[in-house]
């Protein structure tokens, strides 16, 4: 594997981490006008994000055992990219629908988080084991491969958290933030496509 491929894997890990945490903070911003910013809104969103990730890691691991290349990565990334880019279209109607059921606030916010955030998180999570496998094929050092990928994705998460909460939310409206985030993921997808083309030429 080429050096370029190593940096592309890290770039994807970073962007995925960035998107994930940014998405989480925006999620709170979307739900607050309905449920407020009580501690259980945060609790519900964080737990649903983690559940999605857990399932994603597990499924991603299985996929990685079978096949781990830019092609499969590209397909997986495209789904959350589309879901997040189009969030402004379906987000508010879904919120209104669930809120109108007048369930207990906690149950309602959990249900809504599952509907809105669970699926993108599964896909974002499943990227990570695939990246680890792709990195490890090269070096035969699975430990450091996993460590590097997690470090990069966590660095992305830290950046995503800070950039979103400190800057994005004060610069752009929430729907525009979602669009921007979707663009990040589409950039990931494009990276995969470009390098696939490049490596097929070689």
User: Which residues of this chain interact with other proteins, rule CB under 8 A?
Assistant: 29, 32-39, 41, 99, 102, 105, 151, 155, 158-159, 162, 166, 169-175
Closer CB to other proteins, 122 or 177, in the complex: 177
DSSP structural state of residue 68: -
Closer CB to other proteins, 61 or 175, in the complex: 175
Query: To the nearest whole angstrom, how small is the minimum distance from the Cβ of residue 86 to other proteins?
Result: 16
Query: To the nearest whole angstrom, how small is the minimum distance from the Cβ of residue 39 to other proteins?
Result: 5
Query: To the nearest whole angstrom, how small is the minimum distance from the Cβ of residue 36 to other proteins?
Result: 2
Closer CB to other proteins, 67 or 107, in the complex: 107
Query: To the nearest whole angstrom, how small is the minimum distance from the Cβ of residue 9 to other proteins?
Result: 16
The CA–CA distances, whole Å, from 143 to 32, 133, 139, 140 equal: 40, 11, 10, 9
Closer CB to other proteins, 34 or 118, in the complex: 34
The alpha-helical segments, DSSP class H, found in the chain are 3-35, 39-66, 70-85, 87-99, 105-113, 119-139, 142-162, 169-171, 174-201
Biggest CA pair distance of the chain = 59
Asked if 70 contacts 190 with a C-beta cutoff of 8 angstroms, the reply is no
d(CA 179, CA 106): 28
Closer CB to other proteins, 32 or 71, in the complex: 32
Query: To the nearest whole angstrom, how small is the minimum distance from the Cβ of residue 155 to other proteins?
Result: 6
Nearest to 113 by CA among 30, 2, 54: 30
The CA–CA distances, whole Å, from 21 to 4, 117, 127, 193 equal: 26, 12, 15, 24
Would you call 102 helix, strand, or coil by DSSP?
Answer: coil
Query: How many residues are present in the chain?
Result: 202
Query: To the nearest whole angstrom, how small is the minimum distance from the Cβ of residue 18 to other proteins?
Result: 12
Closer CB to other proteins, 145 or 192, in the complex: 145
- R_g of the chain, CA atoms, integer Å: 17
């Amino acid at each position: 594997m080429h050096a370029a491929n190593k940096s592309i894997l890290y770039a994807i890990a970073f962007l995925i981490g960035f998107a994930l945490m940014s998405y989480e903070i925006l999620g709170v911003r979307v739900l607050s006008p309905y449920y407020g910013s009580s501690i259980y809104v945060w609790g519900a969103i964080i737990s649903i994000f983690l559940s999605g990730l857990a399932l994603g890691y597990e499924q991603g691991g299985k996929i990685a055992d079978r096949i781990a290349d830019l092609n499969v990565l590209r397909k997986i990334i495209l789904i959350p990219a589309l879901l997040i880019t189009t969030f402004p279209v379906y987000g508010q109607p879904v919120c209104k629908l669930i809120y109108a059921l007048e369930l207990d606030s906690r149950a309602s916010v959990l249900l809504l988080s599952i509907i809105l955030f669970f699926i993108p998180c599964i896909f974002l999570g499943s990227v990570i084991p695939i990246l680890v496998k792709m990195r490890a094929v090269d070096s035969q050092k699975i430990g450091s491969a996993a460590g590097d990928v997690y470090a990069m994705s966590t660095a992305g998460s830290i950046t995503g958290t800070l950039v979103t909460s400190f800057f994005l939310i004060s610069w752009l409206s929430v729907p525009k933030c979602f669009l921007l985030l979707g663009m990040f993921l589409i950039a990931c997808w494009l990276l995969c496509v470009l390098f696939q083309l490049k490596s097929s030429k070689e």
